[in-house]
A and B are shown apart, each in its own frame.
Chain A
């Protein structure tokens, strides 16, 4: 439970750093903790017994999300080759990006087993909405993404006929209009996003 509430600006000295840890929006310098964003100071009780309290500053205005290693992203497949699918990252966690970031799902990162048999064309199609995990900051241009988990993969796709498809198994989707099957690496549905 928060036990003190006040608004601060960057550079505001909050408290001594001894016995508390810096949470999001707070940094430690010397023997003090300082705020690093505009927002509300909150002092949170530790999640487990015996650990120090956490001081956080919650932003008043959310800035555009930036992908980081380990974060779950949602994006759209915009380009495909035989080796990789290029994804335009639109949402990081639950936060939308103001400008899209570019990510790549390489064929070896599509699924966890039988990696050598993966065909990008049988896993994704252009325009699919994909949920994936950032595994590396990647090269100069793109983040490296992976869908090698049950809950990761295609979450929304349209068939050749243009109708919405529903997942049948983890690697097949069926068109609601023509009942044709199309191969996809589907995400296991109905699992809420893991809390970060």
Chain B
């Protein structure tokens, strides 16, 4: 019997044709394989990270990587509004792109991509937060993207920033969660790619990793990539996460050192 209510897929499928534009790609790096901003392929960008910018929030953080700028506020733990009993705390994340954050104007209301990214941040952070200690409570995390310089690196920065903000709020957690991203462009790995590089990518990898516990909390990959290349990108992202981790620790300890 034929199921008329659903759209049937074709019986044979064909692999999609991935259009590669060779001429544009060459300008992403020079003959010394340095990128347009002078970085090597495996280098990540310098990071500016500061805690405690939003005074009315319980914890907050601001991150700036290249032109990506993200502010994050953590509110709670406060009484949950969900009408069902739960012995575990609940984590709620809302990412908002400012209307002026991207090349094209973003609508002020929440769109599908923002919901998607919010869910990814939740998945990356939940394993690191000790929600079992906060029954019947909710932690609200509000992330505002002020400027977006590549969606993959923006998501990684949002996870990093949110994790620092949660630690700044004094919420008990297992470890900080740095996240890093890599783009696959022409069979090579570009770490922490910017907007122009991202337009040429054939896939990406975003890794959230707890360096102290050596555990991955979240991994997201898209695109058609070799296993060897993925393994290499995975290792590079782990290294990058460890580097970001030290920046996160410094940003949390700096306000304490300043007051002394």
Contacts and interface: CB of A to CB of B under 8 A. Distances in A.
B252 to A, nearest CB: 5
Nearest to A102: B79
A38 B248 CA distance: 12
A10 B128 CA distance: 10
A11 B137 contact: no
A68 B137 CA distance: 11
Interface size bucket, A side? 20 to 34
Nearest to A65: B77
Contacts of A101: 78-79
B212 A63 contact: no
Interface in A154-188: none
A139 interface: yes
Contacts of A139: 85
Interface stretch (B3-11, B147-155, B168-176, B194-202): B168-176
B76 A25 contact: no
Interface residues of B, number: 36
Nearest to A40: B256
B38 interface: no
B249 interface: yes
Interface of A: 7, 9-13, 25, 27, 29, 34, 36-38, 59-64, 66, 68, 98-102, 137, 139-141, 143
B253 interface: yes
Nearest to B169: A63
Interface of B: 58-59, 76-79, 82-85, 87, 130, 134-137, 167-176, 210-213, 248-249, 252-253, 256-257
A7 B58 contact: no
A85 to B, nearest CB: 18
A139 to B, nearest CB: 6
Q: Which 10 A-B pairs have the closest CB atoms?
A: A11-B175, A63-B170, A11-B212, A99-B78, A36-B172, A10-B173, A61-B170, A140-B85, A101-B79, A9-B249
A25 B171 CA distance: 9
16 contacts: A7-B256, A9-B248, A10-B167, A11-B173, A36-B173, A36-B174, A38-B168, A38-B170, A38-B256, A61-B169, A61-B170, A63-B59, A63-B77, A63-B171, A66-B135, A99-B78
